[in-house]
Structure 1
Amino acid sequence: MSMCIKRQIPIIFENAHYLIVNKPPGIPSQPPDTRTWGRTHPGLDPTPLLDRFKTIYCSYKQVELYRTVHRLDHCVTGGMLIAKTKDASIKFSRFLQKGGNKGYKLLRKYVAIVERPSCLDKRFNDQVNNGSHYNSLVSHDGRQITKFKLIDEQCIVLQLVTGKKHQIRQHLSQILNQPILNDQKYGSTSKLTTPFKDQIALHSACIITKIGLQTQTHLIPMKFNNTGKLWSRRYVNEEGEFISQIKDVLIENWD
């Protein structure tokens, strides 16, 4: 199989337990509701990422056992973990559901570019908790929590504590009044045309795992439609690598 096809879903890292892939925009990570997908996403293939991966990498040993354990919205790019065994899938899922020392540890950090600086005074908002190393966005009586740290007034690094649907997008838009660039569903007024129609400036940029005593930190480059238009050269170079200031925050320990 040609490398051109495999670049469609490139593998960033692989070991005996899991793979990290770099998800392109426009691909759902779970099977969508086929009754509404065609209407809400005209012309967009509903085939989920794992099915595409298995087709591309069909020669991989026991590829049919592979499972995704978390999701990314179709318009979000970046790192996704694919468990290679049933045991790994169960243990990563257990950590995501229960946290603490349950299962295999899986932390996810994202980089977002927001459309405008916040006009919200965080000191008087009970949904923003200020801390010494990071701040937190909290909603739904504490059932949805996102840690975050500002790089500058338009670039934010975020870490999911809980992982509800559209959580980061909602928290930035509804609590900080900072919709993600090109995220028209949550208030962005920018209307970037093709090839950005199904891509917003939110990227899964760092995945940290811990299995036993071994911790692995994976940085995932932003290489999709990387022209400097959606992701400014202030933050991402021509090779898709984030600037050192962002990388330093991505690998910080926020536990």
Structure 2
Amino acid sequence: MSLKKQIPIAFENAHYFIVNKPPGILSQPPDSRTWRRTHPDLDSTPLLVRFKTLYSSDKDVEACRTVHRLDHCVTGGTLIAKTKNASMMFSRFLQKGGNKGYKLRRKYVAIVEHSSHSKEPVSNEVGYGLKYNSLISHEGKQITKFKKVDDRCIVLQLVTGKKHQIRYHVSQILNQPIVNDQKYGSPIKLPRAFHNQIALHSACITTKIGLQTEVHLIPMEFNNNGELWPRKYVDEEGEFNSSIKKVLLENWD
């Protein structure tokens, strides 16, 4: 297998790359004092360093910068800005929203525990709407939009981007932990091949630079044998089913 398959590029233009991040890879350098103790068998080399090493021979990647992060156990689309200016403009939008900077929206697909195995959701932290619902915590400082495809599959879009926000919200508010996310209460323990992977995937990234809007769907192709991601949701090529894609492509602004 080509080394570049380790971090495949899903899209490239003049401003950024979209890469499909595998499980077990960090988005940024960890605290080395705790990481070696809690993850002794996991290489702590961050995504950007790996990406530059893989592609430096045939692409101009020296000035590249990561704009947002995914937990090491989360897979999928990650935007890497090609220039300092692009990085600043995307970061400005993530910090200020509105018409500031370059627009960046991220939608995730999660497979969660069945509702029959959980308590009722905490209703005062769920906002219900026509196009989407909202999970709200920490006195309104953490907000995640969401829509259920069915009782086991949820599409989520970050409004704020705090550490572990989606994992915390579905576990603590909906009381349906993400499958194999033992940190947040999943009782399912899959084989060791899934030790550093949960059923949460960054599946759609939308950008808007000037008048140009780009929508990127990112397949879930890692350890895709039907165990973590059932075949009713993801096919053998990593493509999500039509119902999931429909929700991913909806405009929730």
TM-score normalized with structure 2 length = 0.97
- Distance, in Å, in 1 between the alignment partners of 2:123 and 2:81 is 39
Match of 1:136 in 2: 134
Q: Deviations over 1:91-120 (max 9, x none)?
A: 000000000000000000000000221645
Match of 1:39 in 2: 37
Aligned partner of 1:68 among 66, 69, 72: 66
Match of 1:21 in 2: 19
Structure 1 stretches lacking a partner, 5+ long: none
- Distance, in Å, in 1 between the alignment partners of 2:148 and 2:125 is 16
| AA aligned opposite 2:73 | C
SS of 2:44's partner is: coil
- Distance, in Å, in 2 between the alignment partners of 1:92 and 1:110 is 19
Match of 2:87 in 1: 89
Greater shift, 188-197 or 48-57, is seen at: 188-197
Q: CA deviation at 1:61?
A: 4.4
Structure 2 stretches lacking a partner, 5+ long: none
Spell out structure 1 runs of 4+ moving beyond 6 A: none
Q: Is the 8 A contact 2:120 2:175 kept in 1?
A: no
| AA aligned opposite 2:207 | T
Greater shift, 202-211 or 124-133, is seen at: 124-133
Match of 1:112 in 2: 110
**RMSD value over aligned CA atoms?**
1.1
- Distance, in Å, in 1 between the alignment partners of 2:240 and 2:55 is 28
Residues 87/60 of structure 1: CA separation in 2 closer, same or farther (3 Å cut): farther
Match of 1:103 in 2: 101
Match of 2:7 in 1: 9
Match of 1:197 in 2: 195
Aligned partner of 1:174 among 172, 190, 201: 172
- Distance, in Å, in 1 between the alignment partners of 2:139 and 2:99 is 24
SS of 1:158's partner is: strand
Match of 1:228 in 2: 226
Q: CA deviation at 1:62?
A: 3.6
- Distance, in Å, in 2 between the alignment partners of 1:12 and 1:117 is 34
Match of 1:157 in 2: 155
- Distance, in Å, in 1 between the alignment partners of 2:174 and 2:56 is 44
TM-score normalized with structure 1 length = 0.97
- Distance, in Å, in 2 between the alignment partners of 1:61 and 1:7 is 15
- Distance, in Å, in 2 between the alignment partners of 1:61 and 1:11 is 12
- Distance, in Å, in 1 between the alignment partners of 2:155 and 2:60 is 36
Aligned partner of 1:239 among 237, 240, 248: 237
- Distance, in Å, in 1 between the alignment partners of 2:197 and 2:244 is 21
Question: Percent identity among equivalent residues?
Answer: 74
SS of 1:29's partner is: coil
Q: Alignment length, in residue pairs?
A: 252
